[in-house]
Amino acid sequence: SQQGEEDPQALSIQEGENATMNCSYKTSINNLQWYRQNSGRGLVHLILIRSNEREKHSGRLRVTLDTSKKSSSLLITASRAADTASYFCATGGGTSYGKLTFGQGTILTVHP
């Protein structure tokens, strides 16, 4: 079974708008990571947030982590058509040290 569950399953926005994706998980974690996938092939790492961190930024990306609610959010600001992709959260550590477990992903479409 998947550890992380993203929502929404699909998100459609206009260029320039912000996109927010959420991830919930079930067991204790050491860290949570977000990945991007284009065209159903290899994933690219975006950002990693550790369990003792609450917020992290990288360029137009902002990730929050609430361990009490077992949830995380990924915000992409000022979206571009090139941001169109699938986004996955992955949890690692806790009771499964090192093993990364992925959710079902959010399909983001940014219309020019």
Partner 1 sequence: GAGVSQSPSNKVTEKGKDVELRCDPISGHTALYWYRQRLGQGLEFLIYFQGNSAPDKSGLPSDRFSAERTGESVSTLTIQRTQQEDSAVYLCASNLGGNTEAFFGQGTRLTVV
Tell me the C-alpha distance between 77 and 63, whole Å. 11
Cis? peptide before 112, omega within 30° of 0: no
Q: From residue 68 to residue 107, what is the string marking binding to partner 1 with x (rule CB under 8 A)?
A: --------------------x-x-xx--xxxxxxxxxx--
Q: From residue 25 to residue 54, what is the string marking binding to partner 1 with x (rule CB under 8 A)?
A: -----xx-x-x----xxxxxx--x------
Q: What angle do CA 98, 100, 102 make, to 5 degrees?
A: 165
Does 67 bind partner 1 (CB under 8 A)? Our answer is no
Does 57 bind partner 1 (CB under 8 A)? Our answer is no
Place of tokens 């992925």: 102
Does 61 bind partner 1 (CB under 8 A)? Our answer is no
